[in-house]
């Protein structure tokens, strides 16, 4: 299944060029056009799923296995010192391309602009934390 308006579907179909570093029957892995660091890559499932809410569970599991394999391979080849695996869902969370993808971001101690992800810390009382815990508990 593909979305005719989706840029990643077009890349997967070869209609838009990309620097591909890995491909199999279910995934294409490309270099990000605006990399956060040298080697920043994106794992794209070939089927169009908008996000984590839509993606098939089996495909999501295979994407994580592929992320592990590529993290090891890329760290060896690039000589990076660490690695972020990042996956945004919906606009409020920073998603800009609405075709599920996982970012593979090599990190280098020597990098000048090491814009490591940071967030502000919110504070909740012990009672609020207990409420949140109870609401979220699941099997
Ligand atoms: P998001 O913000 O949705 O998590 O990430 C989308 C990513 O796709 C961004 O890092 C952006 O640089 C990358 N991107 C957007 N358009 C293209 C494109 O046409 N080719 C490639 N290789 N990457 C793209
Ligand atoms: Zn798509």
Q: How far is the CA of 26 from the centre of ligand 1 (A)?
A: 19
Q: Indicate the length of the chain as a whole number.
A: 139
Measured from the CB, is residue 33 less than 6 Å from ligand 1?
yes
Measured from the CB, is residue 92 less than 6 Å from ligand 1?
no
Confidence (pLDDT) at 111: 81
**101 in catalytic set:** yes
Q: Per-residue confidence of the chain (139 residues) as pLDDT tens digits? A: 788 899 999 999 999 999 999 999 999 999 999 999 999 999 999 999 999 999 999 999 999 999 999 999 999 999 999 999 999 999 999 999 999 999 999 999 988 777 778 889 999 999 999 999 999 999 9
d(CA 99, CA 92): 15
Measured from the CB, is residue 94 less than 6 Å from ligand 1?
yes
Confidence (pLDDT) at 2: 83
d(CA 74, CA 39): 8
pTM above 0.85, yes or no: yes
Concatenated DSSP letters of 23-73 = E-SSEEEEE-SS-SSTT-EEEEESS---STTTS-HHHHHHHHHHHHHHHHH
Candidate list 40, 48, 99, 101, residue with the active-site label: 101
């Amino acid at each position: 299944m593909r979305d005719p308006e989706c840029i990643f579907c077009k890349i997967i179909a070869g209609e838009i060029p990309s620097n591909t570093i890995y491909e199999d029957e279910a995934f294409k892995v490309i270099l990000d056009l605006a990399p956060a660091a040298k080697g920043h890559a994106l794992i794209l499932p070939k089927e169009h799923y908008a996000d984590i809410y839509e993606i098939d569970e089996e495909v999501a599991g295979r994407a994580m296995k592929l992320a592990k394999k590529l993290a090891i391979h890329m760290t060896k080849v690039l000589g990076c010192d660490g690695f972020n695996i990042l996956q945004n869902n919906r606009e409020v969370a920073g998603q800009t391309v609405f075709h599920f993808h996982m970012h593979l971001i090599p990190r280098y101690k020597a990098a000048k602009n090491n814009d490591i992800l940071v967030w502000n810390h919110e504070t909740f009382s012990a009672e609020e934390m207990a409420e949140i815990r109870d609401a979220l508990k699941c099997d």
